[in-house]
């Protein structure tokens, strides 16, 4: 039996990982500035993470959401405290797409409406409603196309209001820093107007923090750089540092009722232990503050690279936009300099999504490699 061939793979086989590095089957070390797609937040094999998972495994790894789960309760408390999202409620699931699926469903239940506004070049996942609000026709199957979705240009406040004032929109879903699209951001004025318009016309603002959240932008959530109050916040990726876990934070205006949402695996003991270890480490190692310091250093070091048009993004969710397609450059970084980076829908952007405890020397290693290759 063969694997369903949907991924173009680099010919690298990873066997182990520690901190900012991964190692292949010949024990070749690679610098990981990609974090397996923004997932590794506190570093590979962090002792807090390993101890939390081992400790939990020794007690109980899984049980369904039919009994009390104190680990989930503790997580809700610690998460609300670190994120400053006071009084929000936590629902846990298993991935980013599933978090957005639940977010959209909740917005629809709450408002009794079904149209969603999303933004051009946005990415929200590959499942039913999540893929329908993603700007990529290639991954939207006919079965997904039945959803009622309008895509608006980032920054087009007028266009957004024209749709919202028709009164049939349940949610506006937005990435405060676009990830897959290529690190574009709206202005503060646009984000704040979007929030006001949602409140005026009775639509839920959904902050998709799947990639930018859990400290990557230098704030716990990227929307916290603005004066906005999302009704729903979706999260995943860095939340579990590699353990598959996702969740939504839900504003107290939205009331729960039995059976409204549900999942078998979501919020299991191991997923909660992994997330608690991430939260503890973000606090202990002051990784959000560190991410901002590393951003400043990165910008200073990288600014004069040949062919560089812009450095996009925030914190340790950064993009180097060149004046040429970067596919070959990215491959040469892996195979000649042993550095992993990410790509984006914008073919000229290299994405930098490292563990948040990256140090200056790792940034220097990338910049030196890029200088040599360019």
- List residues near ligand PLP by CB under 6 A: 95-97, 100, 123-125, 175, 179-180, 208, 210-211, 236
Residue 50: which residues within 8 A CB-CB, separation 6 or more?
A: none
In the complex with ligand PLP, which residue's Cβ is closer, 201 or 226? 226
User: At its nearest, how many Å lie between ligand PLP and the CB of residue 137?
Assistant: 17
User: At its nearest, how many Å lie between ligand PLP and the CB of residue 312?
Assistant: 15
What is the spatial order of strands in the sheet that 232-235 belongs to? Answer: 89-93, 246-250, 232-235, 204-208, 169-174, 115-119, 149-152
Half-sphere exposure for 6 (CA within 13 Å, toward CB): 2
In the complex with ligand PLP, which residue's Cβ is closer, 36 or 43? 36
In the complex with ligand PLP, which residue's Cβ is closer, 139 or 327? 139
User: At its nearest, how many Å lie between ligand PLP and the CB of residue 299?
Assistant: 22
Rounded CA separation 312/294 (Å): 14
User: Mind giving me the DSSP string for 208-251?
Assistant: E-TTTTTTTTSSSSGGGGSS---SEEEE-GGGTTTS--EEEEE-
Rounded CA separation 229/369 (Å): 42
Nearest CA to 221 out of 351, 97, 314 is that of: 314
In the complex with ligand PLP, which residue's Cβ is closer, 125 or 313? 125
Rounded CA separation 170/231 (Å): 11
Encoded tokens for 302: 């990288």
Rounded CA separation 243/270 (Å): 8
User: At its nearest, how many Å lie between ligand PLP and the CB of residue 181?
Assistant: 9
User: At its nearest, how many Å lie between ligand PLP and the CB of residue 95?
Assistant: 4
- Partners of residue 309 on adjacent β-strands: none
User: At its nearest, how many Å lie between ligand PLP and the CB of residue 179?
Assistant: 4
């Amino acid at each position: 039996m063969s694997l369903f061939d949907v991924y173009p793979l680099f010919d690298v086989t990873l066997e182990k990982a520690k901190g900012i590095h991964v190692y292949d089957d010949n024990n070749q070390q690679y610098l990981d500035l990609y974090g397996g797609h923004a997932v590794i937040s506190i570093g590979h094999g962090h002792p807090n993470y390993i101890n939390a998972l081992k400790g939990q495994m020794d007690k109980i790894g899984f049980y369904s959401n039919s009994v009390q789960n104190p680990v989930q309760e503790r997580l809700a408390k610690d998460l609300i405290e670190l994120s400053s999202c006071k009084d929000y409620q936590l629902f846990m699931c298993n991935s980013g797409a599933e978090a957005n699926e639940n977010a959209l469903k909740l917005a629809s239940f709450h408002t009794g409406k079904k149209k969603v506004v999303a933004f051009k070049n946005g990415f929200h996942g590959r499942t039913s409603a999540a893929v329908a609000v993603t700007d990529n026709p290639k991954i939207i199957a006919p079965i997904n196309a039945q959803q009622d979705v309008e895509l608006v240009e980032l920054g087009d406040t007028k266009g957004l209001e024209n749709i919202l004032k028709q009164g049939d929109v349940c949610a506006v879903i937005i990435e405060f820093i676009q990830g897959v699209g290529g690190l574009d951001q709206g202005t503060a004025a646009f984000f704040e107007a979007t929030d006001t318009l949602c409140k005026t016309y009775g639509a839920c603002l959904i902050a998709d923090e799947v990639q930018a959240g859990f400290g990557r932008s230098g704030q716990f959530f990227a929307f916290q750089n603005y004066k906005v109050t999302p009704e729903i916040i979706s999260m995943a990726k860095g939340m579990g540092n590699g353990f598959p876990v996702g969740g939504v934070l839900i504003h107290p205006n939205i009331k729960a009722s039995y059976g409204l949402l549900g999942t078998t695996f979501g919020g299991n003991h191991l997923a909660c232990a992994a997330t608690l270890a991430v939260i503890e480490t973000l606090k202990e190692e002051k990784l959000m503050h560190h991410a901002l310091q590393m951003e400043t250093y990165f910008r200073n070091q990288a600014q004069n690279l040949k062919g560089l048009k812009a450095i996009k993004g925030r914190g340790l969710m950064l993009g180097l936009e060149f004046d040429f397609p970067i596919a070959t450059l990215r491959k040469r970084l892996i195979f000649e300099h042993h550095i992993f980076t990410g790509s984006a829908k914008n073919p000229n952007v290299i994405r930098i999504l490292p563990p948040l405890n990256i140090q200056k020397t790792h940034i220097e290693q990338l910049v030196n490699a890029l200088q040599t290759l360019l």
